[in-house]
C-alpha cells in the first residue's frame, strides 16, 4: 500500500486530535465538532469499525472516512480458553505481540490489559520480567485491547459486533446502557505485561477513553492501575488518571524486596508507602490494593505477616494474597496452602480484607505474571535453562 494513502488509525486519539484529523481530511471546521461526536459514538459506544454502517452519516462523508481512516484494533493472533473460562488473546500490532486476559467471575468480569511489550523491571518471580522491554504500547493499542475483548465477547451495549450487519441502531448519543451491570467486562485492570507508570502518557490517554462516559464508560473505580512502585509517578497517576491504585508490594523488608522487585533499590519501601498515604482520593471507601505474591520460604513467614500489618498502618488498604504462579524455569515455588491461610488470618485479624486470589487460567499461561509474547517465550526459557546450568557448574561440588 502506498504510504501516502494508508488509512490513518483513529482508535486512541483524544477527541481534539480526532477533530483535527477530520478537519485535515477536508471536513469543514463548522461541522467538525458534530462529526467528531458522531464518529466517537459509533466507534466507542457501538464498537463499529466499518464507516459504511454509521447510518446517521451522509454517504459522501462515510466514503471519505473509509478512504482516509481506520478504526482497526490490534489483530487477534490466537484466542485460548481455559477450563475455568478465562480467555487469553495474543494480539499483534505494529509488528509486535502482546496479551490480554479476560477473567469471568460470578457477578463480574475483569479484563487484564498490557501496557508494554516486555518489561524493564526484571522482577525475579515474574515471567514477563524475563522478556526485555521491546516497546511501549500506543494509546490505540491499549484501548484497543478492551475493544478486541468487547468484540470477542459480544459485549458492546447495542449488541453490535464489528463483523455483524444490523440495522436500527439508536442514532448516536445512546450511552444509557453502556456502563450497566449487563456488561460482561465490568472491571479493567492494568495488570498485564509491562509497567504502566513507565508508559504514563499513553496509559493516561487510553484510560481517558476507557473511563469517558461517552466512550467505553467504565467508572474510574472499576479501573485499576497496578505499579511495582514508580514513586515519582504515583501522585501524577492520582491527579491525572484518577483510577484505583494497586501496588505490587510482595515483601515487607527492603533486603527482600530489593531482590524480588529490583525497582525497590531506587524507591525503597518507606518512600513507596509515603506516596500511598498521600494518594489523592484514597479513603476507606477507596482503598489501595496491595498485591503480595506468596513465595515459599521467601516472604511467607508469620513474622512477615505481622510486619505487613505494621506497614499498612495509616493506609486505607486491601491486601491481595496471590499464590505464586509457576512458569518454566522459575526460581521460586508457591507457598504451602496452610502457610497462606495462616498468613491471611493474621492480616484479617488486624482488620484488613485479605482475599487470596484464586489462580485463573494457569493451564493457558494466563495467570498473573505468566504473560509473555509467544515469539519470545522459547528463547527466554532456553536462556534461563542455560543460566541455571552455568550456575550449577559454578557451585562447589
Enumerate binding residues for ligand SAH (CB under 6 A): 123, 125-126, 191, 195, 226-228, 248, 291, 293, 322, 324-325, 368-369
Cβ of residue 234: shortest distance to ligand SAH, in angstroms? 12
Query: 80 has which bridge partners?
Result: 88
**Catalytic entry in 97, 99, 141, 195:** 99
Query: Considering Cα of 250, then 252, then 258, then 264, what sign does the dihedral take?
Result: positive
Instruction: Name the residue nearer to ligand SAH (CB basis): 41 or 325.
Output: 325
Instruction: Name the residue nearer to ligand SAH (CB basis): 67 or 333.
Output: 333
**Contact of 151 with 161, CB cutoff 8 Å:** yes
**Catalytic entry in 112, 119, 334, 368:** 368
Cβ of residue 292: shortest distance to ligand SAH, in angstroms? 8
Instruction: Name the residue nearer to ligand SAH (CB basis): 54 or 234.
Output: 234
Instruction: Name the residue nearer to ligand SAH (CB basis): 43 or 101.
Output: 101
Give the separation between CA 390 and CA 362, rounded to whole angstroms: 29
**Contact of 149 with 185, CB cutoff 8 Å:** yes
Cβ of residue 4: shortest distance to ligand SAH, in angstroms? 39
**Contact of 30 with 48, CB cutoff 8 Å:** no
Cβ of residue 272: shortest distance to ligand SAH, in angstroms? 12
Question: Max alpha carbon distance in the chain (Å)?
Answer: 80
Distances, alpha carbon 370 to alpha carbons 128, 192, 308, 366, 395, in Å: 7, 9, 25, 6, 29
Instruction: Name the residue nearer to ligand SAH (CB basis): 51 or 125.
Output: 125
Give the separation between CA 341 and CA 344, rounded to whole angstroms: 5
Phi, psi of 85 (to 5 degrees): 95, -10
Give the separation between CA 80 and CA 74, rounded to whole angstroms: 16
Instruction: Name the residue nearer to ligand SAH (CB basis): 38 or 289.
Output: 289
Task: Report which secondary-structure segment, H or E, holds 317.
Answer: strand 317-323
> Which residue has the CB atom at the shortest distance from ligand SAH?
369
Residue 126 falls in the annotated catalytic set: no
Distances, alpha carbon 52 to alpha carbons 29, 36, 234, 273, in Å: 22, 16, 43, 52
Cβ of residue 126: shortest distance to ligand SAH, in angstroms? 3
Active site residues: 99, 368
Amino acid at each position: 500500500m502506498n504510504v501516502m494513502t494508508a488509512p490513518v488509525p483513529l482508535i486512541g486519539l483524544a477527541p481534539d486530535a480526532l477533530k483535527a484529523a477530520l478537519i485535515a481530511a477536508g471536513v469543514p471546521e463548522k461541522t467538525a465538532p458534530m462529526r467528531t461526536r458522531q464518529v466517537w459514538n459509533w466507534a466507542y459506544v457501538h464498537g463499529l469499525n466499518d464507516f459504511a454502517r454509521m447510518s446517521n452519516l451522509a454517504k459522501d462523508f462515510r466514503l471519505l472516512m473509509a478512504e482516509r481512516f481506520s478504526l482497526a484494533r490490534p489483530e487477534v493472533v490466537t484466542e485460548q480458553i481455559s477450563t475455568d473460562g478465562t480467555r487469553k488473546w495474543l494480539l499483534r500490532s505494529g509488528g509486535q505481540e502482546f496479551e490480554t486476559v479476560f477473567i469471568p467471575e460470578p457477578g463480574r468480569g475483569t479484563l487484564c490489559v498490557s501496557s508494554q511489550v516486555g518489561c524493564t523491571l526484571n522482577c525475579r518471580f515474574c515471567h514477563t520480567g524475563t522478556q526485555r522491554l521491546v516497546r511501549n504500547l500506543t494509546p490505540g493499542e491499549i484501548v484497543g485491547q478492551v475493544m478486541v475483548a468487547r468484540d470477542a465477547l459480544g459485549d458492546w451495549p447495542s449488541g453490535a459486533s464489528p463483523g455483524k450487519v444490523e440495522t436500527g441502531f439508536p442514532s448516536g448519543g445512546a450511552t444509557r446502557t453502556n456502563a450497566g451491570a449487563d456488561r460482561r467486562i465490568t472491571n479493567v485492570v492494568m495488570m498485564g505485561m509491562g509497567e504502566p507508570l513507565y508508559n504514563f502518557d499513553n496509559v493516561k490517554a487510553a484510560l481517558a477513553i476507557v473511563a469517558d462516559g461517552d466512550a467505553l464508560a467504565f467508572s474510574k473505580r472499576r479501573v485499576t492501575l497496578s505499579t511495582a512502585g514508580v514513586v515519582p509517578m504515583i501522585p501524577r497517576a492520582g491527579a491525572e488518571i484518577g483510577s484505583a491504585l494497586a501496588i505490587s508490594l510482595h515483601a515487607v523488608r527492603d533486603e527482600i524486596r530489593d531482590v524480588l522487585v529490583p525497582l525497590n533499590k531506587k524507591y525503597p519501601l518507606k518512600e513507596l508507602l509515603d506516596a500511598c498515604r498521600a494518594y489523592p482520593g484514597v479513603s476507606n471507601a477507596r482503598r489501595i490494593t496491595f498485591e503480595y505474591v506468596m513465595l515459599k520460604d521467601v516472604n511467607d513467614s508469620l513474622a512477615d505477616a505481622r510486619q505487613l500489618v505494621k506497614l499498612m498502618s495509616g493506609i486505607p488498604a486491601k491486601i491481595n494474597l496471590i499464590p505464586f504462579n509457576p512458569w518454566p524455569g522459575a526460581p521460586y515455588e508457591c507457598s504451602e496452602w496452610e502457610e497462606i491461610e495462616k498468613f491471611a488470618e493474621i492480616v484479617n485479624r488486624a482488620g484488613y480484607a485479605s482475599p487470596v486470589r484464586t489462580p485463573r487460567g494457569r493451564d493457558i499461561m494466563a495467570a498473573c505474571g505468566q504473560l509473555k509474547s509467544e515469539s519470545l517465550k522459547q528463547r527466554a526459557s532456553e536462556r534461563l535453562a542455560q543460566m541455571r546450568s552455568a550456575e550449577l557448574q559454578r557451585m562447589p561440588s
